[in-house]
């Protein structure tokens, strides 16, 4: 049986975001962390999402991992390939979105590829090639201070052109609003001018549906998860209308938040008065003042009926000061390593229902827990589903992009589990 869609995601939270988008639109989806190394049964699967932790690693490594994933998807006869990256186009001048896209384009031999990270329900829209976060240009939003991928430009055409060796064009909203045929005609026109990429404007879900329909014959599509919502219909798959399922797993509740995004900081501030909480100071990790064993003792001493929060979030100015002293790479690695170790010992101590905030943190936690795959269940907020483990000790996991979720996300998540 041929796979309809084979996806490569550049981080773990984005992968679950994409998986739940495809599932809501009627597809049977399997999500794997890394390229599977053994035989897998895909006989009843429409789409596969291969989650990589490649967003901020060196570009050559990101390319190599992505091509390994592509080879695996091609061996399983994926009809369409989707390269999923963040709805805020998280990257640097060197990549990794452009370099990975270039190699996928060349390997698949495609003429033109859509570039559309829009996610309107979460406030990410594209107009005249510029990415907005709610009512702000990306470059004016809190993303300008992201510790790993500060976004100081909102022009997606310019950003993609800086990273890619191919020409980049634009399909503006005036064309998109004309529907899928108008989009296809504009794409053909860009091909005639030598473009290999088309940044496509999108202001709402109707635009995304038209873009999805226009991409029906495209071998490769790139973007955020929301643009994938229109793809299943091209394969005759219709959205499902059913009550979402949530994990039924006993155990204690914990939030591990490594993200320093504005959304996560707001969520932390909202819940701190109600839950036991500890903030991890990065320099305290470095000098050994804070250890995994000490945090475990603190966690197990808290009332079992109340969730706990352990976070490393800080204001952008504080993050910059710490990075100046410890270095960007070391600062991030210290937090990720501690959170990963903590997830492992918390699981052993009976914390089986975890919310993990931040893409890099989620990647470290999933690897530490040695989870080859997750089952995608119901959404908590747009783009963030509950999942459950498919092997090993049963766990419920919600892997949250730092930028996603409402102010009451943490409380809402555990209420859904009962």
The bridge status of strand 373-381 relative to strand 29-33 is antiparallel
CA distance 211 to 207: 6
The pLDDT tens digits for 56-99 are: 999 999 999 999 999 999 999 999 999 999 999 999 988 999 99
Query: Would you state the pLDDT for residue 223?
Result: 98
CA distance 179 to 170: 15
Query: Would you state the pLDDT for residue 1?
Result: 62
For residue 70, the surrounding DSSP H or E stretch is helix 59-75
Quote the pTM value: 0.86
Could you tell me what percent of the chain has a pLDDT over 70?
100
Residue 135 burial by Cβ neighbours in a 10 Å radius (0-12, 13-18, 19+): exposed
Query: Would you state the pLDDT for residue 2?
Result: 81
The pLDDT tens digits for 289-346 are: 999 999 999 999 999 999 999 999 888 888 888 888 988 888 888 999 999 999 999 9
Query: In sequence order, what E strands does 233-350 have?
Result: 252-257, 277-279, 308-311
Confidence class for position 148, pLDDT limits 50, 70, 90: confident
Judge whether residue 241 has pLDDT over 90. Answer: no
Average pLDDT over residues 156-164: 97
Residue 361 burial by Cβ neighbours in a 10 Å radius (0-12, 13-18, 19+): buried
Phi and psi dihedrals of 182, rounded to 5?
-60, -40
Q: Superfamily for 252-417?
A: Four-carbon acid sugar kinase, nucleotide binding domain (3.40.980.20)
Give Cβ neighbours of residue 348 (< 8 Å, ≥ 6 apart). none
- The class (CATH top level) of 5-235 is alpha beta
Judge whether residue 7 has pLDDT over 90. Answer: yes
Judge whether 5-235 and 252-417 match in fold: no
Average pLDDT over residues 185-209: 98
Rg (CA), the chain: 21
Question: Domain segments of the chain: what residues?
Answer: 5-235, 252-417
Judge whether residue 212 has pLDDT over 80. Answer: yes
């Amino acid at each position: 049986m041929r796979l309809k869609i084979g996806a490569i995601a550049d981080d773990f939270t984005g992968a679950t975001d994409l998986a739940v988008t495809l599932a809501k639109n009627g597809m049977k989806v399997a999500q794997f962390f890394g390229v599977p190394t053994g035989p897998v049964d895909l006989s009843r699967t429409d789409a596969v999402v291969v989650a990589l932790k490649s967003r901020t690693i060196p570009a050559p490594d990101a390319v190599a991992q992505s091509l390994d994933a592509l080879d695996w998807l091609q061996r399983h006869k994926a009809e369409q390939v989707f390269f999923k990256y963040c709805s805020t186009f998280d990257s640097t001048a060197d990549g990794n979105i452009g370099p990975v896209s270039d190699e996928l384009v060349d390997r698949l031999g495609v003429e033109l590829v859509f570039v559309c990270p829009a996610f309107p329900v979460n406030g990410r829209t594209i107009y005249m090639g510029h990415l907005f976060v709610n009512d702000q240009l990306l470059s004016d939003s809190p993303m300008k201070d992201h510790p790993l991928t500060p976004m100081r430009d909102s022009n997606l055409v310019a950003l993609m052109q800086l990273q890619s060796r191919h020409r980049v064009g634009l399909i503006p909203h005036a064309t998109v609003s004309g529907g899928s045929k108008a989009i296809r005609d504009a794409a053909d026109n860009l091909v005639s001018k030598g473009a290999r990429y088309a940044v496509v404007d999108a202001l709402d879900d109707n635009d995304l549906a038209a873009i999805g329909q226009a991409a029906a014959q495209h071998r490769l599509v790139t973007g955020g998860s929301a643009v994938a919502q229109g793809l299943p219909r091209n394969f005759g798959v219709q959205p499902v209308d059913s009550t979402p399922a949530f994990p039924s797993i006993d155990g204690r509740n914990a939030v591990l938040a490594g993200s320093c995004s504005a959304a996560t900081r707001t969520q932390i501030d909202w819940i701190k008065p109600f839950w036991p909480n500890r903030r991890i100071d990065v320099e305290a990790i470095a000098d050994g003042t804070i250890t995994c064993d000490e945090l475990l003792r603190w966690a197990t001493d808290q009332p079992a009926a109340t969730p706990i929060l352990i976070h490393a979030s800080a204001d952008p100015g504080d993050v910059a000061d710490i990075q100046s002293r410890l270095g960007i790479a070391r600062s991030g690695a210290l937090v990720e390593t501690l959170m990963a170790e903590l997830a492992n010992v918390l699981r052993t101590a009976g914390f089986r229902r975890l919310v993990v905030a931040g893409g890099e943190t989620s990647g470290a936690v999933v690897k530490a827990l040695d989870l080859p795959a997750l089952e995608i269940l119901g959404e908590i907020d747009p783009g963030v589903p509950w999942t459950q483990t498919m092997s090993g000790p049963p766990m419920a996991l919600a892997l949250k992009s730092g930028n996603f979720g409402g102010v009451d996300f943490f409380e809402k998540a555990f209420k859904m589990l009962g």
